Chain A
């Protein structure tokens, strides 16, 4: 063993490698992305690592590898599990041979997600065992146990950290290389009675799963993963994940000593451990459940109280003692614990005379080609009845003022179908769908096929910046690079669209504003399904040109550049528009917007 300073996600990757990992697949999504990236960085050539085209593909690939005896991990964020839920629900019945851990990162807040769904509930729904680590060290240790349970019980298991564990850092104990396990997969052994799902198999498997989960509840109770800290009182706190660490800090700071039950395996719920906790010291009077997302432990304890006839009062989210939505914090937990334990909390006085602080909502970067694409479509559609359906990625930020170009956003790949639905009700509307290149491959292609087949009237706008930018620049089928370091043939978006039967597909550089506006006017006027590919690399990935320069002699101070583009590279200094040189990439868009040609430099300087 030795010490290393690791991010939670890196610890999960390293733990999986220490457990003998053979194959890892996934789709990028905050806060899960760094698990697969770390694995790729640590790959000595013995692992197979891939970014799959989406979570469903990743999980199915992982299943095949696990059928063949490989230790397999599949990574995604919580909404990714919705995409992968079809294979997941069936795989629960089929089971696996090699250990298979499905790493699903939840995002209380939510900080960068569409939903606050709780994967612990998905575990219950799919009947799969679930592990919930509370710290970086525990994540490293627990993922290794998760592989062991998975292999021992021939079932995929869910491993569910949350953002603060995924993105927290700590100096932790990790195994030396010679302490790591190695797994040699046996290979796929043909057995249709085992690997082919049929109603008869599912009936038998269902019964076996229910029996196994009763057994696992007992095993988990004795596993040390659900520890009860006895302090001798009649009041208890049940908690999990990062909230456990907030609780421990609060208990220490307040000098109180409740009984503490930390639930590391929320499903199957460790009933026996719960009974031990609830009946301590002649029976607890009251238990506060401190959880994020859904009240899973709270309902579990209420169920146990009913089943075993216990009189303990259970409070938490369901009784309004813990907020129903959003993240817990050190402060919110300390407040809840102090109230529960009857300790006075010295009121934090609020500072009153704070000057108004500038708000910093996330915006498209300076030089981002998406800004130019949105602006071109906005110019071209001025005065025309239009709807702009957005999608998931950096370009969701096209909703911000002054662009204001995102009318809908739902989930990965939804925009292309939503715009068809709006068009069916309002046929006189110019229906647009914006989709990024990575999202196009992940889940928009079927939507385009739907549009072509059903004779929709719409314009697909592919914002192709040749990367998966939002999650930190992962490669995808259009980039020609894989996580194994190969350079391969790129999958062409244009060829895919043509193959589907989209007759007009035009590719244009959005930073050439006039040509881009013309293209949008011309293409959108056609009937049927047509596509524009705005192709320009992500501004973060290319070396910027010299920053733009404003000629103060020519500038009439109309601020049109600022008010139409909202670029972070354009600021106001001494009441006049100015270039923030540390941010400006010299993309040249503002110089094409300026009515008096006062902005030079950048691209025009060359």
Chain B
């Protein structure tokens, strides 16, 4: 049994912590884990991704195109960029709130993410859209996006553990003052 999970978005959205919590939750069930992510210069406003693999018989932290069971996208255009990695029948969770890069602002672009969502709806069999901005408002913090996305990812049933396992690991990882907010975000009904 192997799971390939791809998390993508833009630097600063909390992707690395999301990846760490999935890994730690898997390890708590004695499932071997490998992962790889963008670090360094490319992070500054750039596209960020994290490859995550769970299961036995793994050699390499990355996986080729068309092999991801689950794509967790924190930004619409980044979902489209990484869509080639999704396997046939794989699941996609995407935050619909776009982040406009400087280059687009300079060119006077009108990028607002909507055509990305339309494209995803056409191409992905199993797509769930999340209004991340609204969800964060409901939770009460702009920093809650990663936990909202993680909670929704667990709901897909692709991951080999439930929300309780994630919550337990999260409590050990984040600062005590953020636990309550994160629990609310993880368990948010959307």
Contacts and interface: CB of A to CB of B under 8 A. Distances in A.
Q: Do A and B bind each other?
A: yes
Interface residues of A, number: 61
Contacts of A572: 100, 104-105, 108-110
A348 B65 contact: yes
Interface residues of B, number: 53
A169 B33 contact: yes
Contacts of B59: 135, 244-245, 248-249, 252
B142 interface: yes
A357 B60 contact: no
Interface string A388-413: 00000010010011100000000000
B78 to A, nearest CB: 8
B27 interface: yes
A7 to B, nearest CB: 9
Interface stretch (A361-369, A429-437, A485-493, A591-599): A361-369
Interface string A327-365: 001110010000000000000100101110111111111
B161 interface: no
A355 B80 contact: yes
B60 A248 contact: yes
A571 B100 contact: yes
A185 to B, nearest CB: 34
B111 interface: yes
Contact of B101 (A355, A358, A575): A358
Nearest to A332: B64
Given A353-B119, A361-B46, A571-B100, A169 B106 contact: no
Contacts of A401: 103, 106
A111 interface: yes
A500 interface: no
A603 interface: no
B10 to A, nearest CB: 7
Interface string B4-15: 000000101000
A31 interface: yes
Interface stretch (B37-45, B147-155, B178-186): B37-45
A189 interface: no
A205 interface: no
A501 interface: no
Interface in B89-133: 99-106, 108-111, 115-116, 119, 123
A99 interface: no
Nearest to B42: A362
Contacts of B110: 572, 575
A167 interface: yes
Main secondary structure, interface of B, reads mixed
Contact of B81 (A245, A357, A575): A357
A394 B44 CA distance: 9
Contact of A354 (B39, B41, B119): B119
B116 A355 contact: yes
Nearest to B104: A358
A232 to B, nearest CB: 21
26 contacts: A112-B40, A135-B59, A136-B34, A164-B36, A167-B36, A168-B36, A169-B23, A171-B32, A249-B63, A249-B64, A252-B57, A357-B80, A357-B81, A358-B77, A359-B101, A360-B47, A361-B46, A362-B44, A363-B101, A363-B102, A365-B44, A559-B108, A570-B102, A572-B100, A575-B110, A582-B142
Interface of A: 3, 5, 30-31, 111-112, 135-136, 164, 167-171, 242, 244-246, 248-249, 252-253, 329-331, 334, 348, 351, 353-355, 357-365, 394, 397, 400-402, 470-472, 559, 562-563, 566-568, 570-572, 575, 580, 582-583
Given A167-B39, A571-B105, 18 more contacts: A3-B27, A111-B41, A112-B42, A167-B37, A171-B26, A245-B59, A249-B59, A249-B64, A351-B123, A355-B115, A358-B100, A361-B101, A362-B45, A397-B44, A562-B106, A568-B45, A572-B105, A572-B108
